[in-house]
Amino acid sequence: MLQYTNNLEKLVKERTQQLEEAQEHAERLLLELLPKSVADELKVSRRVDPKNYKSATVMYSDVVGFTSLCSDSLPMEVVTLLSGVFQKFDIIISQHQCYKVETIGDAYMVTSGVPITSRHNHVRDIASVAIIMRDFLSEYEIPHRPGQKLHCRWGFNTGPVFAGVVGLN
Shared domain check, 7 and 62: no
Shared domain check, 11 and 68: no
Shared domain check, 144 and 107: yes
Shared domain check, 144 and 70: yes
In a domain, 141, yes or no: yes
pLDDT at 47 over 80: no
User: What pLDDT digit, counting tens, does each position of 108-136 carry?
Assistant: 999 998 877 666 688 999 999 999 999 99
What domain range includes position 23? Answer: 2-33
In a domain, 40, yes or no: no
In a domain, 74, yes or no: yes
In a domain, 105, yes or no: yes
Shared domain check, 56 and 27: no
The reported pLDDT for the residue numbered 12 is: 77
What is the rounded CA–CA span in Å between residue 89 and residue 92?
5
Q: What is the CATH number of the domain that holds 154?
A: 3.30.70.1230
Span 21-32, mean pLDDT?
69
Shared domain check, 140 and 67: yes
Residues 6+ apart with CB under 8 A from 96: 112, 125, 126, 128, 129, 132
Shared domain check, 90 and 22: no
